[in-house]
Chains A and B, each alone.
Chain A
Amino acid sequence: MTVKEYIESGLLEAYAMGALNAAECAEVEAALEKYPEIRAELDAIETALGSYVNMQAVEPSPDIRGKVMSLINNTSQSERDVVTIGRLNINPNVAQDPRNNIVWSIAASILLLLSLGINIYLFNKTTIAETKTNGLVQTNHKLDSSVKVMAANMKQLVADNDRFRSDMSILMDPMYKLVELKGMKVSPEAKAMVCWCPGSKLVYYENEKMPEPPKGMQYQLWAIVDGKPVDAGMITMGAGLHKMKDVTNAESFAVTLEKEGGSDTPHGEMYVVGNI
């Protein structure tokens, strides 16, 4: 799309009206960064919408302003919390009260006695502890490598979680049509799913229960348009949603087993198919 076509597409208007999904918004925001003309156009659209809302403004009752301001007064922004804690520590009234000096003296004496007691106790313990240290160093090495394994697992979990969240956002998005693909004769148990957004043409594919393809072979997704298969991309076997090629139009989706890298037209057996 050229900048002019982009401006005339209606996408910016829909963006300003909050009518786009997250993926489309991200697309518009990227275009805004890149092209000052697109930004200027969005500004003009927002100004027009702003005036439209203003024409329909309703003045709130006079007491609402005070209510809002006292709510704000009682609600801290995250960085204001830090400031408040800082102020509590330097409250001058506490230091000026002479009674506080006595309280502090007693408290300090108790702490000193406690500290002496602990020191004697710890000194005795040290000798025993030293003999144990060697054993601990070895255990520590073991733990160290365990921690490394756990950190790696954790990283994997975080990545899985991110992927899961983005998958969920597609699955919950009403713009997407969810198409269930069911097994054919060659593999009646096979199952897969396609999420297709006709508006943005985006297609995501998920293996739900597909047999592992033989070596040198790969599954290929097809969009069926007017009875003819159109290549929608090669399938990798991992879990989760996989982004496929854009599809403008489709009556159904099907998966066939093809040689690695795919074919222009389907040659292999059809494993799953589903109508929209």
Chain B
Amino acid sequence: MVTKTSIPEEELVASLKAGEQSAMAVLYDNYSAALLGAIMRIIESRENAEDVLQEVFVKVWKNISSYDRSKGKLFTWLINIARNAAIDSTRVKGYAIKNQIRSIDNSVRSINRQHSVTMPVDHIGLKNIIDTLKPDYKILIDKLYFEGYTQEETAEELGIPLGTVKTRIRAAINQLRGIIK
């Protein structure tokens, strides 16, 4: 994560936990674009995605006390909140409210598939970097990380064994790490 305002993450978190609104402004400047990009992988309409983004920052503000650095970086926590909020909002919209949570999950996802979310990439240069990622790997990261699929669902969706998903995850992130270096 490239931070635009250089303030150490620990300090930022401490200020947020102390309830400093100015820290929220810093957080917004540093992470809003990344989070909106992630939300738009699930919600295509920019307007709806921006509504969810606002919700996400309010949730962060209210729940920052529950963030625990020992369990992961701030960014990972933020992206989890954004992904869950985005998936929740597609449920609330009543795309498909059925009796079982599982079927809700599946219908939300099939809607995503039908409308196949376009990948928002601002810079041509960066798009080229992403394109060097093996397509098998890219789809795996996208399903698991952006769209919130479980490993089982990803295996089913891609028609590969669960074991392959598990080993491929490591290989995929390794290639990503190589590219980013």
Residues of A within 8 A of B (CB): 8-10, 13-19, 21, 29, 32-33, 42-61, 64-65, 67-69, 71-73, 75, 77-80, 172, 174-175, 198-199
Contacts and interface: CB of A to CB of B under 8 A. Distances in A.
A65 B26 CA distance: 11
Contact of B54 (A52, A68, A199): A68
Contact of A65 (B32, B83, B150): B32
B85 to A, nearest CB: 13
A64 B54 contact: yes
B177 A48 contact: yes
A58 B122 contact: yes
A51 B157 CA distance: 26
Interface of B: 1-2, 19, 21, 24-25, 28-29, 32-34, 36-38, 40-41, 46, 49-50, 53-54, 57-58, 61-62, 64-65, 70-73, 75-76, 79-80, 83, 101-102, 105, 119-123, 126-127, 129-130, 141, 144-145, 148-154, 162, 166-170, 172-173, 176-177, 180
Contacts of B151: 14, 19, 199
Contacts of A60: 32-33, 36, 50, 53
B132 to A, nearest CB: 11
Contacts of B41: 56
Contacts of B101: 172
Nearest to A28: B71
Given A55-B129, A57-B122, A64-B50, A174 B72 contact: no
